[in-house]
Amino acid sequence: MSAPAVKSPIKTAVIGFGLAGRVFHAPFVSAVPGLELSSIVQRKGDEAALAYPASKILRSFDAALASDAALIIVATPNDTHFDLARLALEAGKHVVVDKPVAATSEQVLTLARLAREKNLVLAAFHNRRWDGDFLTIKALLIQQALGRLTTFESHFDRFRPIPRPGSWKEAGSPANGMLFDLGPHLVDQALALFGSPKAITASVRMDREDSAIEDAFDIVLHYPKLMAYCRTTMIAADPSPRFLLHGTGGSFRKYGLDPQEPALVAGAKVPRLPESGKPTDEWLNEDPNLWGMLTLAPDPAEPRKLTTHEVQTEPGDYRGFYVNVRDAIRGTAPLAVTPEAAYRTIRLLELARQSSESGRTLPVEFASLA
């Protein structure tokens, strides 16, 4: 019997070495067997070379397109995502695009159709599906621990009351602002849990003085017998719960954010997965002080007799996103975050703006990617 074929690593180029490339992409690509961080595009500076001496440092996107990289990761400012992703697909590269994939849903449709035409993987970096708190919520819903869910509330609060001068994230652009920065994560999580809503109601605002971007929003996704709220503000000195769920059998409340991003910003190293692909470590476990609280009514006829207990947070792991991308490129697994999911997310954010501007609840309809 012959030995099994060895699949060569997928050469990968990360475009950009700001926060996205440095914290969310390069460390996790490097930690996944079957992916090779062959090159990084950093236009100036030597931070990438010092962090990844085995990778080739390129000074232009064109150099990455001309390289032998099979996978391009677009980790540049938001308003460049569409053009760079389109050029990469046209060059025959598989593509991961940081959120938001594009500034409009029509642009996402263009990319999705191009990827389908060329039989290439196009994945939106909706990595928050691999947050520990989201995985915990998902498990509770599968278990029907809360009975029939009636209310789902998801917050991503920050406290930055004064706009940061000189930051591209604070520059007025349809692709910037909290709606297109954090909105993709919150809306994608709701879509992943509940599917497409029937209608949407939203308030999208500039709450801070002298803000050039949308810095707060409240989005309500209407489902049969369920309301899903997605909310963000930049003036929350005392943040709301990250998740608050109510059902016919009880409630779940969870504070705090997944620990992966702050750990990486502080310099934590991501352990490399074993060649088997199955983690032998839980690279970051959440502080037990931040575990969620489950409150249940064992007998609904006795609503005052409640039980409460902590729910240990599932370990989050962004390596799972890139394991899935690797397997999708190899054809051994379906893509988790599909172009259709990216399109529906951006379309809902567009409808949120329209709902806010018109002061109306709008029906939700999606175009076909075909």
Q: Could you report the per-residue pLDDT of 124-152, keeping only the tens digit for each? A: 999 999 999 999 999 999 999 999 999 99
Band of the pLDDT at 47, cuts 50, 70, 90? Answer: very high
Q: Clarify whether residues 176 and 296 are in a common domain.
A: yes
Domain stop point among 100, 127, 154:
127
pLDDT at 102 over 80: yes
Instruction: Give the closest residue to 187 by CA, choosing from 149, 217, 143, 213.
Output: 217
Phi/psi region, residue 248 (left: phi>0; alpha: psi -120 to 50; beta: rest), is alpha
Instruction: Give the closest residue to 256 by CA, choosing from 310, 177, 183, 208.
Output: 310
Mean pLDDT of the chain: 94
Q: Clarify whether residues 171 and 57 are in a common domain.
A: no
Beta bridge partners of 243: 154, 254
Instruction: Supply 113's token pair.
Output: 């159709």
Specify the pLDDT at position 176: 82
In whole angstroms, how far apart are CA 367 and each of 104, 313, 336, 354, 364? 13, 37, 20, 17, 10
With b meaning 16 or more CB within 10 Å and e meaning fewer, what string describes 213-226? Answer: bbbbbbbbbbbeeb
Q: Could you report the per-residue pLDDT of 156-196, keeping only the tens digit for each? A: 999 999 988 878 788 777 778 899 999 999 999 999 999 99
Specify the pLDDT at position 173: 77
Q: Clarify whether residues 282 and 134 are in a common domain.
A: yes
Q: Clarify whether residues 137 and 250 are in a common domain.
A: yes
Domain stop point among 127, 157, 186:
127
Among 54-63, 97-106, 296-305, name the one with the lowest average pLDDT.
296-305
Q: How many CB atoms lie within 10 A of CB 185?
A: 22
Q: How much of the chain is helix, strand and coil, in % rounded to 5?
A: 35, 20, 45
Cβ–Cβ under 8 Å, residues 198 and 230: no
Q: How many CB atoms lie within 10 A of CB 168?
A: 14
- The total of structural domains in the chain comes to 2
Q: Clarify whether residues 138 and 269 are in a common domain.
A: yes
Q: Could you report the per-residue pLDDT of 268-324, keeping only the tens digit for each? A: 999 999 987 676 777 889 999 999 999 999 888 888 899 999 999 999 999 999 999
Domain range spanning residue 247?
A: 128-315+347-363
Q: Clarify whether residues 152 and 222 are in a common domain.
A: yes
Cβ–Cβ under 8 Å, residues 292 and 254: yes
Q: Where are the alpha helices (DSSP H) in the chain?
A: 19, 26-30, 47-51, 61-66, 81-90, 105-118, 132-143, 178-181, 183-194, 260-265, 319-330, 339-358
Residue 302 lies in a domain: yes
Band of the pLDDT at 2, cuts 50, 70, 90? Answer: very low
User: How far apart are the two ends of the chain, measured CA to CA in Å?
Assistant: 43
Q: How far apart are CA 152 and CA 145, in angstroms?
A: 14
Q: Clarify whether residues 137 and 109 are in a common domain.
A: no
* CA dihedral over 264, 315, 32, 342, signed as positive or negative: negative
pLDDT at 22 over 90: yes
Q: How far apart are CA 169 and CA 182, in angstroms?
A: 12
In whole angstroms, how far apart are CA 177 and each of 172, 205, 206, 313? 8, 10, 9, 30
Cis peptide before 100 (omega within 30 of 0): yes
Instruction: Supply 204's token pair.
Output: 């999208």
Supply the DSSP string of 25-38, one letter for each residue. IHHHHHTSTTEEEE
Band of the pLDDT at 4, cuts 50, 70, 90? Answer: very low
Any idea what DSSP says for residue 252? E
**Domain containing 178 — which CATH number?**
3.30.360.10
Note the Cα 182 to chain centre separation in Å. Answer: 8
Q: What is the pTM of this model?
A: 0.93
Specify the pLDDT at position 6: 42
